[in-house]
Structure 1
Amino acid sequence: MIEVSGLTKDYGKVRAVDDLSFTVAPGVVTGFLGPNGAGKSTTMRMILGLDAPTAGSATIGGRRYADIARPLTKVGALLDAKAVHPSRSAAAHLRWLAHSNGLPARRVDEVLGLVGLSAVAGKKAGGFSLGMGQRLGLAAALLGDPEVLILDEPVNGLDPEGIRWVRGLLQALAGEGRTVFVSSHLLAEMAMTADHLIVIGQGRLVSESSMSEFIRRHSATSAIVRTPDLPALQDLLRTEGLDHRVDVDPEGRQFLEVPDRTTDEVGALAFAGGVALTELTQRRASLEDAYMQITRDSAQYRAQPAHPAQEEKR
């Protein structure tokens, strides 16, 4: 378990992290989200003892990272995949790490096979692509078979197969009862990977909840309805004072969207009014919708919309 309590970090007059507190529990994948400059990387660095906090504390299993003996056996981390001597081979890099923590040399071959780098084990890391560098960083994080994983943008540069592999790996590790803490800007991927979310903005905690609760709480849902008797259904909705709009699907068929209403509510209303329905589905907002809603006032860098239509959609 990772416990962050009152964590604060000042760089001169700039406060990067501001009285931040949260818990990362074992057994689930916890996603760490926030706009650029929100303090995610700084927070991860403080958890790992790479930056000293101005105030507060961060512990892993009740201890500071600096107090953990043979830390690779307890905590695996990937913060910067480029933090490798470019003239060392992938295998040599991992052998050095293994030796520093008293790990058997055979573990190097095991993790290279796990991440798909066995064929390039003897090649210099400086010649690796971004995706290969990420795989080497993941191999280093997994080297000690740790109980806790802290990963900053682990799928950056990976191809679709690699991204899917990382997703399955993280979920499998969490399923074994390990603590998995991962940041990413790929919201669609995070939606498929994480069970729990911690969201920060301008160094402060914005939200901490399950994925489903976060989406439900911070974005709207609507009921999508198709019927052969559109005017009759519209009359029913108007009678109940329910807002709705008519739209057309990609196949050119008209449908009604009823915001902030469930399919149970709309279906019961149609049944009571004797209106037959040919489709009744719930349209749920995405993680991206919910994230944009909750962080809209926390973004440090905000681009202007390229076209007025972009602004209208927000």
Structure 2
Amino acid sequence: MIQAFGLTSNPRKELPPAVDDVSFEARAGHVTTLLGAPAAGKTTALRLMLELQQGRGLTYFRGRPLHRIAHPSREVGVLLGDVPGHPARSVRGHLRMLCAAAGVPVRRADEVLEVVGLVSLRDERLGTLSRGMDRRLGLACALLADPHTLVLDDPADGLSARESRWLHGVLRAHATQGGTVLLTTADPKEAARTADRVITLERGRLVADQEAADFARTRLRPRVAVRTPHAARLAALLAKEARTAQRSVEIVREEGNRLAVYGSTCADVGELAFRHGILVHQLADEIGDMGPGAPAAKEPDPPQPAVQGTAPAHDTARPFVYSPATGRPSVYSPATGRACVDSPATGRACVDSPATGRACVDSPATGRPSVDSATTDRTSADAPAASPPAQTQPDVRPRQPPRPSGPRPLAPLPSLPPPISVRPAPSPLRPLRYELRRAAGVGTGFLIGAAVLVVSALTAVLLARIGHTPQPRLLAAWPRELPLPPAALGAGLLGALAFGDEFRHPALAADRGTVPRRLGLLAAKLLVSGGTALLLALLTLGCDAEVLYLVYGRELAQVPADWLALSASWIGLVVGCAWAGVLAAGVFRSASAGFAAVVAVPVIVVPLVQKAVEGAAVRTAAGFPLRVREVLLTQWPFGGERWLAAAARLVAQPVGGALTLSLTALLCAYLLTTLRSRAR
């Protein structure tokens, strides 16, 4: 159950808020629809409920606000806009990554793919999916963790009639099993046909909160949909007859040969068309719009099997056939081979094709059709209303094959993925699995690494040709004119993409739309980015040394004498840049901002640190390791004082000190934002 209280968005300069004091409930076991024209505030209301937008109000999901739920994706399945994912990631890889993020078994990805019908497209990239397939994948992402509540923003937008019926059937099945479904739409007919409760928004305010039946009765207008090649003539005749009878009839000429007649009935329109010899291709009762300003009516859907919980589709091609027995027009359906004849005595009588010799008569007393056989004596009171097939149907319709007797069963509800049970306790390996699948699911990291190796090797060859470059800088391909070597810049970019890429393509849409600020996830990202940076640093040194050896010989590829200290400094620089990118992207929610923070370390922070170090000082930190050993009164194992001295020298360097300072500041900022999000 969803309970929303006083949802109000922040004012927009001189404009009123997009949502102003909206309160409603969405009960479990029901499909609730937020209805409104574009810019009515539907999407803003959902974003306020999911705490994705600043504003006032409170929303409870089964009695708890979203930020108080330990695992939001297991409680709320969300689809806002397009599927949130990197366009280069495969369908199955995206779902497997979300399985690791939500803590559900990886086999769940294949289960939901089978339910939404995307098994054959599991290796396709997200960027190549059509609109309909994108909607199916979005529903699969929402159902992945078996949530109780589904919150969907216009899920049928851009879908065909068949795909829309499938989607609403799945949502109805979820509600039938006790779940809560909340979706938005701009089509009032769709809301009346598929929802149990309709909540109408207009200009950010709540206009009505009604049951679907009351909504269709009070806010929608019934109409007769007519399709005929003589639409103009029929419209003129209907208007003339309405003036003669002094009745209020509204006739709207829609696109094509379609008329919408308000204030009349199918019988009156059909009789008028028959008397004047007008051919009619469609005649059906429909739910009309909400008056002026409502969305344009959509094309009628083709005949489809009835689905439990949804309204049956109208027959779209019914030519008129005259019945001599009743003197009234009947409607023949080629799809069923039956003609329906209006009878004043019984209401309606349906006569089957001559091949079956059966008549189905609606009885006003029972409200159910009675079935007569051609071989029995028809003594029922309703029998005279049904004309013999030879008299009722002229020889203009095709022969139909016999149909089985008895009522046609309803189509079953669409199947849902089976329920799953997950471990309530968080696993420390779950964020690590998620991060590994996120990093390896697209080729961006591999391309960046290959580009770094190529640029670094070319830079090393060019520096060796120019000369006047020290051996350590030559192996690192770090000219003095650049703030950082290519390996450090590449590691910083990979670290920035670890968070920034998810904010551009949110992977955890159910977890408040962005990556949750959890220390376990941060530790996993730091571990993976650090390992990637370490591998990149070692590969860069190896490639540079090998290229220098191949081009210039062994002299330039020799290992320096103090290789241990230089290696520690080199690894610390590359790994520190990667971590700075991760933290900066997590704080600023942008990959470009994270990479800019990495570049700002040598450009802005290093000069400040140099000025602070080169300034006048009365005392220095010489002998720091010895004094620490004296304080601890213990011997450093494995020559620990040497490692401590090397670390102190690394931090004392301008770049090392600036990087350490930046990492400390970014980590504090990240922790501060984490505490703020948890305190909300």
CA contact (8 A) 1:134 1:157 kept: no
> In structure 1, what residue type is equivalent to 2:35?
L
Bigger strand share: 1
1:202 aligns with 2:203: yes
Greater length-normalized contact order (CA 8 Å, ≥ 6 residues apart): 1
CA contact (8 A) 1:219 1:285 kept: no
> In structure 2, what residue type is equivalent to 1:3?
Q
Cα distance in structure 2, aligned partners of 1:42 and 1:221: 31
Cα distance in structure 2, aligned partners of 1:284 and 1:73: 42
Larger deviation: 94-103 or 150-159?
A: 150-159
Q: In terms of Rg, which structure is larger? A: 2
Q: Paired residue for 1:252, among 252, 258, 272? A: 272
Question: Is the alpha carbon distance of 1:165 and 1:217 closer, same or farther for their aligned partners in structure 2, counting shifts above 3 Å?
Answer: same
Cα deviation, residue 185, structure 1: 2.3
Cα distance in structure 1, aligned partners of 2:27 and 2:5: 14
Cα deviation, residue 131, structure 1: 1.1
1:135 aligns with 2:124: no
1:93 aligns with 2:94: yes
> In structure 2, what residue type is equivalent to 1:107?
R
1:214-229 alignment, distance < 5 Å: 214-219=215-220
SS in 1 for 2:115: helix
- Cross-structure match for 1:271: none
Cα deviation, residue 178, structure 1: 0.8
Deviations 1:8-61 (A, max 9, x none): 0024323111011111111111111011111100111111121122x2212211
Q: Paired residue for 2:37, among 11, 35, 38? A: 35
Cα distance in structure 2, aligned partners of 1:56 and 1:245: 46
- Cross-structure match for 1:259: none
Q: Paired residue for 1:46, among 38, 41, 48? A: 48
- Cross-structure match for 2:8: 8
1:76-225 alignment, distance < 5 Å: 76-219=77-220
Cα deviation, residue 125, structure 1: 0.5
CA contact (8 A) 1:196 1:210 kept: yes
Deviations 1:228-286 (A, max 9, x none): xxxxxx9xxx9xxxx6358762553589xxxxxxxxxxxxxxxxxxxxxxxxxxx9872
Question: Is the alpha carbon distance of 1:161 and 1:19 closer, same or farther for their aligned partners in structure 2, counting shifts above 3 Å?
Answer: same
Larger deviation: 162-171 or 8-17?
A: 8-17
Cα distance in structure 1, aligned partners of 2:24 and 2:248: 41
Cα distance in structure 2, aligned partners of 1:220 and 1:116: 36
Cα distance in structure 2, aligned partners of 1:244 and 1:80: 46
CA contact (8 A) 1:2 1:58 kept: yes
Cα deviation, residue 220, structure 1: 5.6
Cα deviation, residue 187, structure 1: 3.3
- Cross-structure match for 1:266: none
Question: Is the alpha carbon distance of 1:105 and 1:217 closer, same or farther for their aligned partners in structure 2, counting shifts above 3 Å?
Answer: same
CA contact (8 A) 1:81 1:136 kept: no
- Cross-structure match for 1:74: 75
> In structure 1, what residue type is equivalent to 2:62?
G
Cα distance in structure 2, aligned partners of 1:156 and 1:6: 28
Cα deviation, residue 123, structure 1: 1.3
Cα deviation, residue 151, structure 1: 0.7
Bigger helix share: 2
CA contact (8 A) 1:191 1:211 kept: yes
SS in 2 for 1:156: coil
1:273-288 alignment, distance < 5 Å: 286=287, 288=288
SS in 2 for 1:17: coil
Question: Is the alpha carbon distance of 1:3 and 1:245 closer, same or farther for their aligned partners in structure 2, counting shifts above 3 Å?
Answer: closer
Question: Is the alpha carbon distance of 1:178 and 1:162 closer, same or farther for their aligned partners in structure 2, counting shifts above 3 Å?
Answer: same
CA contact (8 A) 1:220 1:284 kept: no
> In structure 2, what residue type is equivalent to 1:50?
L
- Cross-structure match for 2:19: 17
Gapped regions of structure 1 (runs ≥ 5): 223-233, 256-282, 304-314
Question: Is the alpha carbon distance of 1:76 and 1:10 closer, same or farther for their aligned partners in structure 2, counting shifts above 3 Å?
Answer: same
Cα distance in structure 1, aligned partners of 2:90 and 2:248: 61
SS in 1 for 2:156: coil
Cα deviation, residue 87, structure 1: 0.8
> In structure 2, what residue type is equivalent to 1:40?
K
Cα deviation, residue 71, structure 1: 1.4
CA contact (8 A) 2:35 2:191 kept: no
SS in 1 for 2:57: strand
Question: Is the alpha carbon distance of 1:253 and 1:183 closer, same or farther for their aligned partners in structure 2, counting shifts above 3 Å?
Answer: same
SS in 1 for 2:40: coil
CA contact (8 A) 1:215 1:285 kept: no
Larger deviation: 111-120 or 212-221?
A: 212-221
Cα deviation, residue 212, structure 1: 0.9
SS in 2 for 1:215: helix
Question: Is the alpha carbon distance of 1:129 and 1:253 closer, same or farther for their aligned partners in structure 2, counting shifts above 3 Å?
Answer: closer
Cα deviation, residue 130, structure 1: 1.2
- Cross-structure match for 1:228: none
CA contact (8 A) 1:131 1:156 kept: no
